[in-house]
Structure 1
């Protein structure tokens, strides 16, 4: 088990299956009684985000890897979710280059699920997170057929000794190549 709320047990590194949990992703939003916070539960298998669920209690919604639905049609003008308090410079630069509408939002899980739900097309984060911030969102996004990677295009790898993850891209497959090319 790896969780934001528990002391790290490095025995997990010898396991092929590790649960990665964030019981309250978006503590500030939760405390402000907003709807853009989430609960993350994921199972990483051999470093890959394979099984997961994201609860959005403020929306009375749970999105899961075993109950994915087809994506809605992709609009021509992209919408990009960004941090409502500290949007990343790289995300703002990409948004300007592709004329994306910016949607400020709280937790990483809420942002990623906005892409799954069809409320936005791109979530680009370069401000650093931890494995518990992105494992469940990555698992659910992959189950829905979305692109998930680091900003250099490499896969997200979990259950590492250093749980810090500097960046993340979750987006509609239609936008992945273009966004990655603007970052490279």
Structure 2
């Protein structure tokens, strides 16, 4: 690992942990403002405050890196000029954050040439800090993660949206709709072996995927779209077509099962 990547990792991991603590402190406020976006999703003062925090701690410190955040208007032409890209989800699981539940996290990845090389997903309400460096493995609170794998889908605990799970129902999976669990935490749970896999049909935003993808890959798994093609980030449209994440053998079984539907 280069010295530059080590410095970026230290910067990223410290910033994500501090951002999570900021988010946790804001959950104690009873007057937290919130709004509905044009797409119908919700945003709060917490999302915006954490986004500003990252702009100060990451964007300002690395001005030559591109920027893609759920809470910043996207400028594809500008970000695509840069080989290195911060991919930010200030709060993944805003509904849980609003309702005072624990199922929310802060997630950031650094992508280089379209692929994530650093990732951090922090779940502050349980003090779970997931991190990964490309080629160096994935960790949960400092302990190495390794996905238990199998080529069988029978009894596998697969989280996802109902459309994707319906396509797998006749393969004997233990379907987990996980409506309250945001995508980044589903991916973190796959990396940690708490879920056997995660699937989702339809377009999924890059900021919902990039950090969690690296966690799964570095824990020995595989991540792709429904078609089986891998993700490339920093494209004009910042989204991917679907999600399939699991250990390498189970990932292949899931892709085959989805193709048969």
TM over 0.5: yes
Could you list the per-position Cα deviations for residues 130-165 of structure 1 after superposition, in whole angstroms to 9, with x for gaps in the alignment? Answer: 111111111121111111111111111101111122
Q: State whether structure 2 residue 181 is matched by structure 1 residue 106.
A: yes
1:73 deviation in Å? 3.6
Contact 1:39 1:54 in 2 (8 A): yes
Cα distance in 1 for partners of 2:209, 2:119 equals: 11
User: Which among 209, 215, 218 is matched to residue 143 of structure 1?
Assistant: 218
CA 1:72–1:182 in 2, change beyond 3 Å: closer, same or farther?
closer
Q: State whether structure 2 residue 94 is matched by structure 1 residue 27.
A: yes
Number of residue-to-residue matches in the alignment: 179
Cα distance in 2 for partners of 1:150, 1:72 equals: 19
Cα distance in 2 for partners of 1:170, 1:106 equals: 15
Cα distance in 2 for partners of 1:109, 1:119 equals: 13
CA 1:88–1:127 in 2, change beyond 3 Å: closer, same or farther?
farther
Which has the higher Rg, Structure 1 or Structure 2? 2
Q: Equivalent residue for 1:3?
A: 69
1:41 deviation in Å? 0.6
Cα distance in 2 for partners of 1:146, 1:36 equals: 23
Q: Equivalent residue for 2:166?
A: 92
1:70 deviation in Å? 4.0
Q: CA RMSD in A?
A: 1.7
What is the TM-score normalised by the length of structure 2? 0.64
Contact 1:109 1:137 in 2 (8 A): yes
Contact 1:25 1:38 in 2 (8 A): yes
Segments of 5+ residues of structure 2 without an aligned counterpart are 1-66, 139-143
Cα distance in 2 for partners of 1:73, 1:183 equals: 21
What is the TM-score normalised by the length of structure 1? 0.89
CA 1:156–1:23 in 2, change beyond 3 Å: closer, same or farther?
same
Contact 1:41 1:52 in 2 (8 A): yes
Q: Equivalent residue for 1:77?
A: 155
User: Which among 119, 124, 127 is matched to residue 202 of structure 2?
Assistant: 127
Cα distance in 2 for partners of 1:120, 1:147 equals: 14
Contact 1:88 1:127 in 2 (8 A): no
Cα distance in 2 for partners of 1:158, 1:31 equals: 29
Structure 1 moving runs of 4+ over 4 Å: none
Contact 1:121 1:172 in 2 (8 A): yes
